[in-house]
Chains A and B, each alone.
Chain A
Amino acid sequence: MDLFSCDVLVVGGGGAGLRAAIAVAESHPRLRVAVISKVYPMRSHTVSAEGGAAAVIKAGDSQDAHAYDTISGGDWLCDQDAVEAFVREAPEEMLRLEHWGCPWSREPDGHVAVRPFGGMKVERTWFAADKTGFHMLHTLFQTSLKYDAIQRYDECFVTRLLVDEGRCQGLVAIELATGKVLAIAAGAVILCTGGCGKVFPFTTNANIKNGDGMALAYRAGAPLKDMEFVQYHPTGLPFTGILITEAARSEGGWLLNKDGYRYLQDYDLGKPEPRPVLRSMELGPRDRLSQAFVKEQEKGRTIEGPYGHYVHLDVRHLGEKLIDRKIPFVRELCLKYMNIDPVKEMIPVRPVVHYMMGGISTDIDGATPLAGLYAAGEAACVSINGANRLGSNSLTECLVFGARAGQAAAEGAGQRGEPSPALVAQAQDEQRRIEERFLHGTGGAEKIATLRAEMHQTMEASAGIYRTESTLKEAAGTLEGLQERLPDVALDDHSHTFNTELTAALELSYMLDLAQAIVQSALERRESRGSHQRTDHPGRDDGAFLKHSLAYRSADGRPRVEYLPVKITRWPPGQRVYGR
């Protein structure tokens, strides 16, 4: 086992992680900051984000308007102090990225251009064509290379946080290339590992999105907040789940049912106009659009395909020129992966798991209740997204709260010495666990793929767009059964060199923990709010549930749910109104 130490250790090299690392390097140049990731940073899932990043910059817009859109979009479950900080710091963070070279799309006069987006009353979404996340990630990564203070552990898989005397003091990881176990002591650890869409079978999320950081924090005793809120994006390609960006609709695309009818007009989302209208119809929020799809399917007005029902996204009327200029990636993805040209043909789409509103509970500075442990980005729940995130808020969130967490962690870290004997002992235990459990041939007849598929089916059946008590209860039982079978998983691969079967087994165990937290939190929230719709409890219940759920892992491994009040500053709970 190799021992290392640093002052601030960032787990994950996506948007939030790199922003956090740069924040440490800039504000505390004497600290040693490290980024550890199971992939090279430019492979991180931020790369797949398409549509844009919201920040108020244009005349006629205001930070209060951005806050109101975010809070109403989140069905009043957002912490409003966090939202206020978010909208206030968003423009500066976006400008900073511009100064670092991000190739933002521009107006003819050279100013940064903005586009409309779902649930936003004013155009405030910055974009780099429809590869915004890709450009932001590469800009951040390339910029991070100029800071010699930032050390990287690429392709190292974190298996455990080291906690001693009530404080997170480092972690244990496997270096994939060699299988060597590393123990890294740190003054502070920031988890920026993204969400866990891979808990579900049909998702826009990349293969790496297994909620590693969420599970690590949960196992170390930190609570997971609002895990029942899972965002379905209304427009994914069937089979692959490849995302067709909301920008396709913000540029004027229509959603049509099997009769060619703009069905959203039947779901209290406004009247169909030829041009896009903000906060209306196709520019409504994602939860409402995905719910409308299910209702439309129940009415028999969707189209049946080999990979489930779908509707059509029609952008043909926008014309080739606009499509190539504003949403070229949509065309590239459709051509390459569906053999469809959206200039001439309609795109088949269906709702697809996209984003976790919930995550590791943090305060406004990214601090978790566990001393020394911080989180930012999708892995965290601050919460600015409440019960439903608005498109283009998450990339900005990575910047604002990545920077905040970096600052706070740097201030809280202090200079770090060598790991204490207690930490080394913990790390040695972990090394032994991995060797004995996985690499020495223990286990039974279970296969990773079988358990994963059963988890997938369970989650889709119980924790999808509409939920109800009986299926959630059944799912909780099924997941416990899967947990019991997990020790019987045996690996074909007992080698140390780049063992991706080992990492898949560890990821499965992370995902099962998170699946349980999602199901239990959904079971206990007996109301419907935002993305969490209970057919047996329709309607929002502010009296009982204007509060965040906090899932703790109890000693027997089951989740225990507690609640925390929502912070309301200036926007008392009201009705969500779209299209009127």
Chain B
Amino acid sequence: MPPTVTTVTLDVARYRPEQESEPTVQSYEVPFRKDWVVLDALNYVKDQLDGSLSFRWSCRMGVCGSCGMTVNGQPRLTCAAFLSAEPSGPIRVEPLRYFPVVRDLVVDITDFMRKLKKVKPWIVRNEEKPLAEGEYRQTPDQLDAYKQFSMCINCLLCYSACPIYGLEPSFIGPAAIALAQRYNMDSRDEGARERLQILSEHDGMWQCTFVGECTKACPKHVDPAGAIQQYKLTSAAHWFKTLLPWGMK
């Protein structure tokens, strides 16, 4: 192990509902190491200083989506937030915004899990092709049409960055819309109409002013704001066509 050069203070939001009615802040002094991320520092706290601090984490390589928190005011994956990249002074670590806090840095994501299912994130076919007939052909260009929207790790940084979700929790939200679009754009899928209906029931989408905070927050470059924009256009076109005498059913 390289020697510890110095230390850094973590100001961590605490909330233990069995003991306190309001969140508090607890400061911990941890070693400052160049190759440490905020998650390493939290694990140092957990192992060496205070076993009662709760947070989620798993893969430590930015793909499981567990360790999203608010670091110095920004929604971040703590496994990819290097201590050395933060401004000097204490580092504030708080739970993701706009979600109910279960405990300390752990937020309640059951609302998102419900929304995820709502957009029917699976291949919808009018007729299934038997397996014996082999794969659906899909050219690299057809794959590229939806590939980016398939990269979402459900880390929820986009919800935590979304001002609309903050005001209107019924908004189905950036990741769920991007996922709907991932299937809509998949050449194997025939469920776009059904999904459009589901999404149109929620007016949240129209409140999105394309501020693009979700896209900025996304650690995987999914571009949910782009998906929402595409969706609005499709939806508007669909609505317009229904007004025409030869319009779609």
Q: What residues make up the interface of A, taking CB atoms closer than 8 Å to B?
A: 39-40, 42-45, 47-48, 92, 95-96, 98-101, 103-106, 108-112, 131, 134-135, 138, 142-143, 145-146, 154, 177, 206-208, 239-240, 242-243, 306, 332-333, 336-337, 447-449, 491-493, 495-501, 504
Contacts and interface: CB of A to CB of B under 8 A. Distances in A.
Interface stretch (B21-29, B135-143, B201-209, B235-243): B135-143
Nearest to B135: A98
Interface string B142-181: 1100110011111000000000000000000000000100
B47 interface: yes
A99 B58 contact: no
B61 A242 contact: yes
A108 B139 contact: yes
A497 B122 contact: no
A92 B132 CA distance: 8
A89 to B, nearest CB: 11
Interface stretch (B5-13, B62-70, B226-234): B62-70
A43 B64 contact: yes
27 contacts: A39-B56, A39-B58, A39-B66, A43-B58, A43-B64, A43-B65, A45-B59, A99-B128, A99-B131, A99-B135, A101-B186, A110-B138, A111-B137, A134-B153, A142-B116, A145-B122, A207-B60, A336-B62, A449-B47, A449-B48, A492-B50, A495-B19, A495-B103, A497-B18, A497-B103, A500-B54, A501-B46
Given A131-B63, A497-B16, A109 B139 contact: yes
B139 A110 contact: yes
A436 to B, nearest CB: 18
A498 B136 contact: no
B131 A96 contact: yes
The 6 closest A-B pairs by CB, nearest first: A110-B137, A449-B47, A492-B51, A493-B52, A498-B103, A142-B121
A145 B121 CA distance: 8
B101 to A, nearest CB: 10
Given A106-B139, A143-B122, A101 B188 contact: yes
Contacts of A39: 56, 58, 64, 66
A95 B134 contact: yes
B42 to A, nearest CB: 11
Contacts of A135: 150
Interface residues of B, number: 64
Given A101-B183, A106-B138, A109-B137, A207 B57 contact: yes
Given A40-B113, A106-B140, A146-B120, A48 B59 contact: yes
Nearest to B183: A101
B129 interface: yes
A92 B62 CA distance: 31
Contacts of B19: 495
A498 B102 contact: yes
B198 interface: no
B151 to A, nearest CB: 8
A103 B150 CA distance: 8
A282 B153 CA distance: 31
Given A208-B58, A496-B18, A154 B122 contact: no
A242 B79 CA distance: 12
Given A39-B66, A98-B136, A495 B18 contact: yes
Contacts of B56: 39
B123 interface: yes
A463 to B, nearest CB: 22
Contacts of B139: 106, 108-110
A109 B153 CA distance: 29
Nearest to B104: A498
A347 to B, nearest CB: 14
B109 interface: yes
B111 interface: no
A42 B136 CA distance: 25
Contacts of B17: 497
Contacts of A496: 18
Interface in B47-94: 47-48, 50-52, 54-66, 80
